[in-house]
Chains A and B, each alone.
Chain A
Amino acid sequence: MTADLENKTERARTFVETLPHCQALGMALQSIGQGEAEIAMPYAEKLIGDPDTGVIHGGAVSALMDTCAGAAVMSHPEAGYATATLDLRIDYMRAAKPGATITAHAICYHMTRSVAFVRVSAHDGSSDVPVAAASGAFAVERGSK
């Protein structure tokens, strides 16, 4: 791995691990590098969206997927120094299993000078069908126009 790429991976790692909102949701970075990232979010009662079933709120899953997508962008070999979400479309396929850790996996599959394109999926380990899937576009900050 080149020094530059190692730098990007490290920056992306710090980005996730020190973000106040990611800490609040209990996110833990599992792997990162080369435009791919995996982040886990353990089940917690404070994240419950439906009190009747104990299922985690979609909003928490959205935050996980947005973070994971951003981390994938930052670890891409052609990444700029920062990124911000432009848009994100999230499909909720099924309810997450209560008690299960949710793991998001993001791939930055294309990067241009100013835009990065990302796909994310979120799994709870109980089925091959993801809990949710998303695709988004991210702004790439390179410091000068």
Chain B
Amino acid sequence: MNRRAPEPVQVVKERRDAALSELVARVPYISFMGFEFERRGDELTAVMPYRPDLIGNPALPALHGGALAAFLEVTALISLSWTLVWPKIESGETTGVLPKFPKTIDLTIDYLRSGLPRDAYARAEITRAGRRYASVQVEAWQDNRARPIVQATGHFLMPDGASDT
């Protein structure tokens, strides 16, 4: 039996990272807000590096609730899109890999603690992604993973061509 040698790990990583940065770089609002995405295998962690213009309560001080809402929504949208991109890059497709973005139908945000003036992190869990609709839960924390500062659940309309998972 003739088995193909596995691709060098660096090649695989570069292809995945290139697809992720291309996906994120498409959205002007993401770069305006300074959001970044880190990848371990197919798992994404979003980072919102602290900046003074994210403050919503200078007296405390605390992060703006709207900035946190945006952070969670972006995390959910990129994570959902990533599930559409991933199978394509893994099967070696190189062109037309980036899908249209899902559309947010609704988002319910639960503010648990005030956001401190430092970096925040978020991860999304896709509860269900169908051909048309997806349900996503997303949570953000700062210094302590066990003490989330904000969580949200959202529904999204998937772009044409999404498959049931």
Binding site for B on A (CB under 8 A): 18-24, 45-52, 56-60, 62-67, 70, 82, 84-92, 95
Given contacts A21-B53, A91-B105, contact A59 B74 (CB under 8 A): yes
- Asked if B64 is an interface residue, CB under 8 A from chain A, the answer is yes
From B54, B74, B100, contact of A20 by CB (8 A): B54
Q: CA–CA, A23 to B67, complex, Å?
A: 12
Contact of A85 (CB < 8 Å), options: B28, B32, B74, B111: B111
Report yes or no: B55 in contact with A60, Cβ–Cβ below 8 A.
no
* Partner-A contacts on B (CB < 8 A): 26-30, 32-33, 52-59, 62, 64-67, 69-71, 73-74, 100-101, 103-111, 114
From B27, which residue of chain A is reached at the shortest CB distance? A49
- State the total of A-B contacts with C-beta under 8 angstroms: 126
**Given contacts A20-B53, A84-B111, A59 and B33 within 8 Å (CB-CB):** yes
Closest to A51 in B: B26
* Pair A86/B111 contact, Cβ less than 8 Å: yes
Additional pairs, 14, CB under 8 Å, beyond known A20-B64, A87-B108: A19-B56, A20-B53, A21-B55, A47-B28, A47-B32, A57-B70, A59-B29, A59-B69, A62-B70, A63-B65, A66-B64, A84-B114, A85-B65, A90-B109
Which residues of A sit under 8 angstroms from B70, Cβ to Cβ?
Answer: 57-60, 62-63
Query: Do the beta carbons of A52 and B27 come within 8 Å of each other?
Result: no
Residue pair A21, B54 in contact (C-beta under 8 Å): yes
B66 touches A66 (CB 8 A): yes
B106 touches A92 (CB 8 A): yes
Contact B69 A57 (CB under 8 A): no
Q: Check B100–A84 contact: CB distance below 8 A.
A: no
CA distance A47 to B69 in the complex (A): 15
Contact B29 A47 (CB under 8 A): yes
Q: Which residues of B contact A57 (CB under 8 A)?
A: 27, 29-30, 70, 73-74
A95–B107 CA distance with the chains assembled, in angstroms: 15
Residues of A within 8 A of B103 (CB): 92, 95
Residue of A nearest to B65 (CB): A85
Rounded to whole angstroms, the CA-CA distance of A86 and B104 in the bound complex is 21
Partner of A21, one of B66, B73, B74: B66
Residues of chain A with a CB closer than 8 A to B106's CB:
89-92
Most B Cβ at <10 Å: residue of A21, A24, A59, A88: A59
Contacts of A48 in B (CB 8 A): 27-29
A18→B69 CA distance, assembly (Å): 20
